[in-house]
Structure 1
Amino acid sequence: MYLATQLVILLACIFIGARMSGIGLGVMGMIGLLIFIFAFGMKPSDPPLEVMLIILSVVTSAAALQAAGGMDYLVDIAGKILRKHPGQITLLGPLVTYAFVLFAGTAHISYSILPIIAEVAIKNRIRPERALSMSVTASHMAITASPVSAAAAALLSVLSGTGAGLAQILMVAIPSTLIGVMVGILFVWKRGKELSEDPEFLERMKDPAFVKNLEGNVEKTTTTLAPGAIKSVVIFALAIAAVVLLGSFPDLLPEFSGKEGFTPGFAVNAAGRLQMPSMIMMIMLSATGLIILFADTTAAKVTKASLFASGGQATIAVFGVVWMSSTFMDHNFEVIKNTLGEVVAAYPWLFAVALFLLSMLLYSQASTTKALMPLGLSLGLSPAYLIGIFPACNGHFFIPGYPTLLTAIQFDRTGTTRIGKYVLNHSFMLPGIVTTIASVLAGLLLQSVLL
C-alpha cells in the first residue's frame, strides 16, 4: 500500500512538473523529495551532481559558441546545403538537423534550422510535414548519439566501473540512431497527400492574404558573419574531438594512485584514474574560456545567450526530478527488484519500453537515463544491452508538448504539420515510433556484434 501511494506521489509530481515546463520538473521533484523524506522516512540518495555539472559545462560552451556567432555560421551552412538541393528536403532536412545536433550536443540549434526546412519545402510544394516531423525526430535521436550531450554523459556516469566507456556508447549509438532516422525518412517519404491534393491547403490557397504570405520572403537574407564565428566553431570542434579521444582511450587520462597521500574523490576513482565525466566538464569549460579569449566575445554575452538560460532550466529539472526518482528507487529497491527481476530477465525488451514510457513524462533523455538505467544494471542487464536500448529514451515526442514539436508546427504555414483532434494523433507520432523502434532494434543488433 505504501509503495502504491509513493508511486502516485512520484507520478503526480512528474506530471504537474511537466505541465509547468521549464524548471517545473525540478521544483516539483524537490516537493516530492521532501514528502518522501518527512512523510515516509526515506533516506535521500546522492544528487545527480555529475550530470548537472556536465549539462552546465556543455551548455555554457554551446552558449559561448552562440555568443561568438558560431551557431549562426552553422545555421548558414545548413541553409546553403538545404537550398542547394530543394527537391531532397525530406531526406536532407532530417540528416542535416541530425548532424548539427550531434555536433552541438543540444537540440536547441534545430530551432534555427526548422524554418529553413519549412521554407524550402513550401517553395517546392513538397508537403512540409514530411521533412519537419522527421527533422524534429532526428534532433531527438542525435542527442542520444552526441559525445557532448547530457544524455550520453548520464549513461557514461551510470556505466562507470563496468568497463563500458564513451567509445562503446558512440560506436553503437551513432549508427543505430542513423539507421533509425533513415528508416523514419523512408516511412514519411510519401506520407500524406501532396500539397496540390491536400484539401486543407487548397482551401487556404483561396485566401489572397495567405497566398501572398506563402509566396513572401523569397529573397534570401544575407547573414553577416561575426568576427569570431569560425574561430569559435573550430575551438568547439577541437573540444569535442578531445572528449571523443580521451573517452575512447581512457589510458590517456591522468592517473594519481602513485601519489603520496592519494585518496579517491569526486573527480578521481578508486583506481586513481581521472574520471571521464569530470574531464568533459574541464574540457568544455576550457573551450568556453578559449572562445571568450580568441573568438571576439565576452563572458557577459555568453551568460545572456538564450542557450545559457536553457541550460539553467535543464540543470534544475534534472536536479529535482532525478533526485526524487533515485530516492524512490533506492528506498524500494528490494521490492522493485523482486517484482521486476524475473520479468526483465525473461523479457529484457520490457526495460526498453519502461525507458520509453518514463521519457514520455520526463521530457528529457538525460533525466530518464539517470533515473532508470541504474535499475537496469541492478536487474542484471548487461552494460552492452543498456547501450543498445539507449535510443528508447527518446519518447518525449509522444505527448505533443515538447518545444521542438511546437516550433515545427508554428513554422509550417501550410498547416500539414499539426496536432490532431485527439491530441495524440499528431504529425510526429508515427515517425517517432517507427524511428525509435528501428533505432532500438539496430542498437540491439550492433551491441551484440560490436560489444
Structure 2
Amino acid sequence: MFYLELLIVLAAIFVGARIGGIGLGVMGAVGLLILTFIFKLEPTTPPIDVMLIIISVISASAALQASQGLTYMVGLAEKMLRKNPKRITFVAPLVCYLFTFVAGTGHIAYSILPIIAELATKTGIRPERPLSISVIASQQAITASPITAATVALAALLAPQGIEIVDILKISIPATLIGVLVGAFVTNKIGAELKSDPIFNEKLKDPDYVKLIAEESKSVELSEIPATAKVSVAVFLLGVLVIILFGAIPGLRPTWTSASGETSTLSMVSIIEMVMMAAAALIILVSRVKVSAISSGNIFRSGSEAVIAIFGIAWMGDTFIKGNYSFIEMGIKDMVLSAPWTFATALFVMSILLFSQAATVRAMMPLGVALGIPAGFLIAMFPSVNGYFFIPNYPTIIAAIGFDKTGTTRIGKYVLNHSFMIPGVVSTVVAVAAGFLLVILFGT
C-alpha cells in the first residue's frame, strides 16, 4: 500500500507542476481525496499557520509594492549594483539570507524576489541565477536563525546533552553561509546568458512583451519617488525589526496565567502574523493607496497562488506521512543503524515530503537521539532538513518562477530538472560537509 500511495502523491505533484499556478494546490486536493476515501488515511490538520504567515507577509509586501515602496528599494539596490551588476548573483542570496535570519521566516523573501528579478532583467543578467540561489538562501537561513521553530526544536531536543542554542548557531551559521556562497558560485555558471536564451528570444518576438520589458527596464529615478513610499519602506522594516526583537527577547512577549495556574506565552507565529498585517494597515494609511492596487499587483497574485499550493500539497503530504509513519520509521532506522551518516539523507528525504524544517526536526531528530548519534553530528546534519526545494512546489519557488518574466526560471520537462535543483543540492551538501568539519574543529 505504501508504494501505491506514494505513487498517488508523486502523480498529483507531477500533474500539478505541469499545470502551474494553482494547479499544485488543486491537484494536491485530488491526491488527498484519493488517500482519504480510497486508501482510508485519516487527514491531518491543514497547514493553517504557514498559510496565515504567507498571507500576512504578502499583505505587507503587496501594500509596499502598491505604495511604490518596492520601487524605491529597487532604486536603491539598482544604484548599488549598477557599477558591477554581475554581483547580484552573490549579493541577492546574502540579502535573502539576512532577511530570513532576522525575521525567522523564509516567506519574507517574497518582498525581495521581485526586486531581484527586476534588477537582473534590467542589467541583462539571467534572472534564473540570482532568483534560484536566493530562494535556496532563504531556506538555508531557517537552520541558522535563532528565532525559527526548527532551531528552537533542535535546541530543546539536544538540551539534555548540554547543548545550548549558541552551540547550534556557531556551527549552522558559518556552515549555511559557506553553502550559499558555494551555491552562488556554481549557479553563476548555469544556463546561457539572457541575450542567448532561446525561450527569452522567442518571447521577444511578441511586440507587447517587448513593450512590457522596455517599460519595466527603465531606471528608477529616486527623486521622483514620493515621500510616502520612503515612509512605507520604513514601516515595513520597522515591522521586521519588531519581529526580531520579540524573537530575540522572549521576555517581551505577553504571557497569561490560566485559572489552573498554567502560563502561556504568545507564539512567534502569532506575532509575525499580527505585526505584518499591522504593517500593511499602516502602509495603506500612510500612502493612501487604493486597496484594488494592492490586490491586483503581481506580489499579491503570486502569494495567493502560494497559499493555494501549500494548502493542497502540504496537506496531502502530511496525511501521507502520518498514515505511513511506522513503515517509514522502520525503513530509516535500519538504514541509519547500518550507516549512521545516512541519517542526513533520511532528514533530506523527509523534509521533501513534509515541506517544513521544523516538522522534519520534530519528526526525525528524536530518532537520531535515540539511535545514539552524537549531538555534534546531528547539528552538522541540521541543514539537510532544507530539502523541500527538491520538488518544485514550495511557495517561494512558485513565486520566483512567476516573478521571472523572461522565462529563464522554470520547471523542466521532467519536473525535477528545475532551476532550483543544482543550487539547492550544492548548497545543502556543502553546508552539511562544512558543518561536520566545524564540529570536528570546535569539538562539539
- TM-score, normalized by the shorter chain, greater than 0.5: yes
> Which whole-Å CA distance do the structure 1 matches of 2:29 and 2:185 have between them?
43
- 1:140 Cα offset (Å): 1.0
Q: TM-score, normalised by structure 1?
A: 0.72
Tell me the residue number matched to 2:367: 379
Gaps of 5+ in 2: 199-210, 370-374
Of the structure 1 ranges 15-24 and 99-108, higher mean CA displacement relative to structure 2 is found in 99-108
Q: Per-residue displacement from partner, 1:22-72 (whole Å, max 9, x unpaired)?
A: 222222222222222222222222221211111111111111211221111
Q: TM-score, normalised by structure 2?
A: 0.73
- 1:348 Cα offset (Å): 5.7
The yes-or-no answer on 1:235 pairing with 2:235 is: yes
Q: 1:142 to 1:357 in 2, by over 3 A?
A: same
Specify the code of the residue in structure 2 equivalent to 1:389.
S
| Aligned partners of 1:26 and 1:321 also within 8 Å | yes
The yes-or-no answer on 1:111 pairing with 2:111 is: no
Q: 1:450 to 1:20 in 2, by over 3 A?
A: farther
Residue number among 342, 355, 365 corresponding to 1:367 in the alignment: 355
The yes-or-no answer on 1:279 pairing with 2:271 is: yes
**Helix, strand or coil: the match of 1:272?**
strand
Q: Per-residue displacement from partner, 1:142-200 (whole Å, max 9, x unpaired)?
A: 322567xxxx967479769758999999876664443223223444667899999x9x9
The yes-or-no answer on 1:313 pairing with 2:305 is: yes
Count of residue pairs brought into register by the alignment: 413
Tell me the residue number matched to 1:303: 295
**Helix, strand or coil: the match of 2:55?**
helix
| Aligned partners of 2:96 and 2:135 also within 8 Å | no
Q: 1:423 to 1:91 in 2, by over 3 A?
A: same
Q: Per-residue displacement from partner, 1:254-305 (whole Å, max 9, x unpaired)?
A: 1112x4367xxxxxxx741222212211111121122222233344433333
**Helix, strand or coil: the match of 2:221?**
coil
Q: Per-residue displacement from partner, 1:368-396 (whole Å, max 9, x unpaired)?
A: 54764543245336784664334443335
Counting only pairs closer than 5 Å after superposition, residues 181-196 of structure 1 correspond to structure 2 as 181-187=180-186
CA RMSD between the two structures? 4.7
> Which whole-Å CA distance do the structure 2 matches of 1:173 and 1:418 have between them?
30
The yes-or-no answer on 1:14 pairing with 2:2 is: no
Residue number among 136, 152, 159 corresponding to 2:131 in the alignment: 136
**Helix, strand or coil: the match of 1:144?**
helix
| Aligned partners of 2:15 and 2:27 also within 8 Å | yes
- 1:430 Cα offset (Å): 4.4
> Which whole-Å CA distance do the structure 2 matches of 1:145 and 1:190 have between them?
21
Q: Per-residue displacement from partner, 1:78-133 (whole Å, max 9, x unpaired)?
A: 1111113347566446546666787881246333433433543x5xxxxx45xx45
> Which whole-Å CA distance do the structure 2 matches of 1:328 and 1:421 have between them?
26
Specify the code of the residue in structure 2 equivalent to 1:82.
L
The yes-or-no answer on 1:410 pairing with 2:406 is: yes
Of the structure 1 ranges 83-92 and 308-317, higher mean CA displacement relative to structure 2 is found in 83-92
**Helix, strand or coil: the match of 2:406?**
helix
The yes-or-no answer on 1:76 pairing with 2:75 is: yes
> Which whole-Å CA distance do the structure 1 matches of 2:193 and 2:66 have between them?
40
Tell me the residue number matched to 2:283: 291
Of the structure 1 ranges 336-345 and 373-382, higher mean CA displacement relative to structure 2 is found in 373-382
Q: 1:244 to 1:404 in 2, by over 3 A?
A: same
Counting only pairs closer than 5 Å after superposition, residues 252-263 of structure 1 correspond to structure 2 as 252-257=252-257, 259-260=258-259
Identity %: 36
**Helix, strand or coil: the match of 1:256?**
strand
Gaps of 5+ in 1: 123-127, 201-212, 263-269
> Which whole-Å CA distance do the structure 1 matches of 2:316 and 2:325 have between them?
14
Tell me the residue number matched to 2:426: 434
Q: 1:371 to 1:261 in 2, by over 3 A?
A: closer
